[in-house]
Structure 1
């Protein structure tokens, strides 16, 4: 399967959205802090990013790992950087 690419903010939002839809997390009313994805060399599956150090996640590690595995299988982190162009054309 070919992965879609997202920028870091969109990837972070997607992981956040999926985590906060999980039944256990909804029932407990917990708010988990989702970190920014970090670019890495593609692993054996071809995924080029990872996330670590979720906040307020004690007891939900297995749920978070499941979401992370699913999102990593669907998306890669965009590696295109915005060029530092002068907005005034100088």
Structure 2
């Protein structure tokens, strides 16, 4: 399966969204702090990022691992910077 790519903020938001929709998390009213994804060499599955050190996560380690596994299977971290320069390649004022 080809992974879609997201930037670091989008990946962080996606993991956060999925975690805070889990029934156990909603019922406990806990707010888990989701760290920024860290770029890594692609692992054996081809995923190029991971997350470690979730905050306020005691008792939810298994839920976090399941969400991470699912999101890592779907998405890779975008590595190229978005181009904000002139797409025509000419210089302003020429």
Query: Given the alignment of the two structures, is residue 36 of structure 1 paired with residue 36 of structure 2, yes or no?
Result: yes
1:73 is displaced (CA, Å) by 0.1
CA RMSD of superposed structures (Å) = 1.5
Deviation at 1:58, TM superposition (A): 0.2
2:42 equivalent to 1:26: no
How far, CA to CA, are the matches of 2:72 and 2:84 in structure 1? 29
User: 1: distance between equivalents of 2:21 and 2:38?
Assistant: 23
Structure 1 residue matching 2:31: 3-state secondary structure: coil
Displacement after TM superposition at 1:82 (Å): 4.7
Distance 1:22 1:63 in 2: 8
In the alignment, structure 1 segments of 5+ residues that lack a partner are none
C-alpha displacement at 1:83, in angstroms? 6.3
- Taking the aligned partners of 1:83 and 1:45, their CA distance within structure 2 comes to 29
Gaps of 5+ in 2: 86-91
Kindly indicate whether residue 15 of structure 2 is the aligned counterpart of residue 15 of structure 1: yes
The separation in 2 between residues aligned to 1:18 and 1:64, in whole angstroms, is: 9
Alignment of 1:64-75 (within 5 A): 64-75=64-75
* Structure 1 ranges of 4+ moved more than 2 A: 81-85
CA distance in 2, matches of 1:48, 1:81: 16
Could you tell me which residue of structure 1 aligns to residue 88 of structure 2? Answer: none
